[in-house]
Chain A
């Protein structure tokens, strides 16, 4: 079973529109960590945010915001007033505290295209 599901494979929006990228996770651990990474066309993975399972407070960073809801096992990512530079593949990832290897379980990614 997939530990992280990103159901949206591709999304296209027109510049300045808001867009929400969905992430649903599955874990039996009570302590876990969720992450979002951005992979622009150049290929590198850029860390965006980390959230632990005990902190359900939503976070805003500029045009980015994250909505963590344990009740639905979701950690969604919203970009407000999208820009062309936001075009990238976005990955959600899960790390479980009981996992000695600290490995990340990545979702399959959502490819976002922002059209000028």
Chain B
């Protein structure tokens, strides 16, 4: 069964450094998402991406964040200058050709900011 893959599984970064989290969505999916989950808390929406542009973003997704689909397979989340509070599990998800279909999540990247 096709799945969403995320790399790396764990990223440790010094505060102030840039970090790029990578995702390969399911190949025939058209909608892509990033969510984050601070340890022990709920999953929070960051951004959705469709037709090569952001379709929605939350208030968490400030100017420090950006997303890109550099080629036909990858979907990346960049944090320009990381802060301690960016430490969280980041999940990438994708969904199919129609809106509101189930989102399939990757296994997540655990980001630790020192």
Selected interface stretch from B15-23, B63-71, B74-82, B98-106? B98-106
Residue A62 interfacial (CB < 8 Å): no
- In the complex, what residue of chain A is closest to B104 when comparing beta carbons? A47
Assess the A106–B108 pair: CB atoms within 8 A. no
- Chain B residue numbers with a CB within 8 Å of A52 are 100
Question: How far is A47 from B2 in the complex, measured between Cα atoms in Å?
Answer: 14
Residue A30 interfacial (CB < 8 Å): no
Q: What class of interface size applies to chain B in its complex with A?
A: 20 to 34
In the complex, number of A-B residue pairs with CB atoms less than 8 Å apart: 71
Give 11 CB contacts A-B under 8 Å: A42-B107, A43-B107, A45-B108, A52-B100, A100-B55, A100-B56, A101-B48, A101-B56, A102-B33, A103-B48, A106-B45
- Chain A residue numbers with a CB within 8 Å of B95 are 102
- Shortest A98–chain B CB gap in Å is 10
Assess the A106–B56 pair: CB atoms within 8 A. no
- Chain A residue numbers with a CB within 8 Å of B91 are 45
